[in-house]
């Protein structure tokens, strides 16, 4: 055991003193995470900027109705619950609202017609009125939010009108029946007092989640997790290639002539690869926390994922060098394999959720399972939540190590 530790310690020290290797293992992933994170909003979360909305409420009300339906629409758009996604301003008329969109001051204009309340609270079941949404075509998300809010209000008001008309029709043969206008107004006022939740649909379910939560994943955290996994494979390859370099220079054959068993020497090389990559991951995790303020998640999940990633990266690196003739060939072949695995596994998309064929392909790579594990961990999951990701990753690592050992024994017998 002491000989294994001595061989591993010698290789780890050699790697730590190799400045180009340290740049590739530590500086490169941090720099890429910083650049991509700042490009997509820095260390902040995935946020949608509040949409600027202009409301032109031309509703003049309805005779005998104390409530203006147009005020309900405008009031709901100005609700504090929507203040994170909608920033509403009142304008004088429809022309001013449209001009605000044309000038780029707002993304969406809501124009409420003058006859809106008269149609909503009126007796004519065939009367119609249209609320105009005048929007910038580039504001797809903001326009969808406004359309959803206004559409919900209109659906409930239409329901109130239908209920009032039905009540009047069913009870028209009795004396003292209230007119449809009063029934509709009462139903609409009830809807307004209920905060716009008279129907089974709720506005909060239509709006995308934009506020921060305790389990929210930052852009930089998602990117650095992917880059860390990606560069751990390269870090492992850099250390593993020293086996081929020492074999070429005659250092390894001389070691084999000593009383130390071949298995002990190879085990020391294996341990050096694992420890170097593990050290690389720990430094990146600490740097991510100190530099970018990334909250990696629960310590048990972070520790297990880091160990699993180091194991699978080391195992694959050793497997590749066991089949290649020299360090140059190992570098070329390994780089190609790592890049393909990163593309298929989702390293460059961070922890974004995937579906369809790509999700199936992602599960065929160790990278994909690690990325899914980091996604769950960054969202607050514990060891139990990532048990399958850990088991599959460790399965990959075990398979790589076993194949590498078998190949090494034959090669250096």
Instruction: Report the chain's terminal Cα–Cα distance, integer Å.
Output: 21
Residue 206: its pLDDT value, please? 31
**pLDDT tens, position by position, 129-158:** 888 888 877 666 777 888 888 887 777 776
Residue 389: the pLDDT is 93
Q: What is the pLDDT of residue 195?
A: 45
Place of tokens 């998300």: 141
Pairing of strands 86-90, 132-135: unpaired
pLDDT for position 356? 61
The dihedral through the CA atoms of 146, 151, 152, 157 has a sign that is positive
Task: Give the model's confidence band at 350: pLDDT under 50 very low, under 70 low, under 90 confident, else very high.
Answer: low
Query: Nearest to residue 285, comparing CAs of 383, 384, 378?
Result: 378
- In tens, the pLDDT along 190-206 reads 445 444 444 322 333 33
CATH number of 51-206: 3.40.1710
pLDDT in tens, 363-394: 899 999 999 899 889 888 888 889 999 999 99
Percent of the chain with pLDDT over 90: 21
pLDDT average, residue stretch 101-111: 85
Give dist(CA 241, CA 370) in Å, integer.
24
Q: Where are the domains of the chain?
A: 2-44+216-411, 51-206
Paired residues of 45 in beta bridges: 218
The SS3 assignment for 84 reads coil
Element (H, E) at 109: strand 108-112
Answer yes or no: is pLDDT of 234 > 70: yes
**Which residues 6+ apart lie within 8 Å of 355 measured at CB?**
none
Q: Does the pLDDT value for residue 73 go beyond 80?
A: yes
Q: Check residue 202 and give its pLDDT.
A: 31
Q: Which of 10-14, 46-50, 77-81, 185-189 has the lowest mean pLDDT?
A: 185-189
pLDDT of residue 185: 59
Helix/strand/coil for 134: strand
In this prediction, residues 226-244 reach a mean pLDDT of: 89
Q: Residue 187 in contact with residue 165, Cβ under 8 Å?
A: no
**Lowest-pLDDT range, 45-59, 110-124, 217-231, 304-318?**
45-59
pLDDT tens-digit series, residues 313-335: 999 999 999 899 888 898 899 99
Average of per-residue pLDDT across 103-132: 82
Tokens matching residue 141:
């998300």
């Amino acid at each position: 055991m002491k000989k294994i530790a001595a061989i591993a310690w010698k290789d780890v020290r050699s790697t730590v003193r190799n400045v180009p290797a340290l740049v590739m293992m530590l500086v490169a992933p941090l720099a890429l995470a910083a650049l991509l994170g700042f490009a997509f909003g820095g260390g902040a979360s995935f946020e949608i900027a509040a949409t600027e909305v202009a409301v032109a409420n031309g509703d003049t009300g309805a005779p005998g109705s104390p409530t203006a339906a147009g005020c309900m629409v405008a009031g709901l758009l100005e609700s504090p619950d929507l203040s994170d996604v909608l920033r509403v301003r009142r304008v004088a008329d429809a022309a001013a609202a449209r001009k605000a969109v044309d000038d780029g001051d707002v993304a969406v204009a809501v124009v409420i017609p003058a006859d809106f309340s008269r149609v909503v609270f009126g007796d004519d079941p065939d009367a119609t009125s249209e609320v105009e949404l005048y929007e910038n075509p580039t504001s797809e998300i903001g326009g969808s939010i406004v359309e959803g809010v206004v559409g919900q209000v209109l659906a409930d008001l239409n329901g109130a009108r239908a209920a009032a008309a039905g009540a009047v029709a069913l009870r028209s043969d009795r004396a003292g029946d209230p007119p449809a206008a009063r029934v509709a107004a009462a139903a609409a006022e009830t809807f307004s007092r209920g905060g716009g939740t008279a129907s089974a649909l709720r506005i909060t379910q239509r709006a995308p989640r934009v506020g921060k939560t305790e389990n929210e994943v930052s852009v930089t955290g998602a990117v650095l997790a992917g880059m860390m996994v990606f560069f751990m494979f390269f870090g492992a390859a850099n250390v593993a290639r020293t086996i081929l370099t020492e074999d070429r220079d005659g250092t390894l054959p001389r070691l084999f002539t000593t009383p130390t068993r071949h298995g002990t020497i190879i085990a020391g090389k294996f341990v050096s690869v694992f420890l170097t990559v593990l050290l690389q991951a720990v430094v990146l995790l600490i740097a991510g926390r100190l530099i970018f303020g990334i909250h990696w998640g629960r310590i048990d999940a972070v520790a297990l994922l880091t160990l699993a990633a180091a194991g699978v990266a080391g195992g694959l690196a050793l497997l590749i060098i066991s089949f290649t003739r020299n360090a140059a060939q190992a570098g070329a072949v390994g780089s190609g394999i790592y890049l393909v695995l990163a593309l298929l596994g989702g390293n460059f998309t961070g922890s974004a959720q995937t579906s369809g064929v790509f999700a199936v392909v992602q599960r065929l790579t160790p990278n994909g399972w690690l990325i899914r594990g980091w996604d769950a961990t960054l969202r607050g999951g514990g060891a139990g939540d990532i048990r399958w990701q850990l088991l599959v990753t460790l399965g990959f690592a075990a398979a790589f190590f076993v194949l590498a050992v078998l190949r090494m024994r034959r090669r250096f017998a």
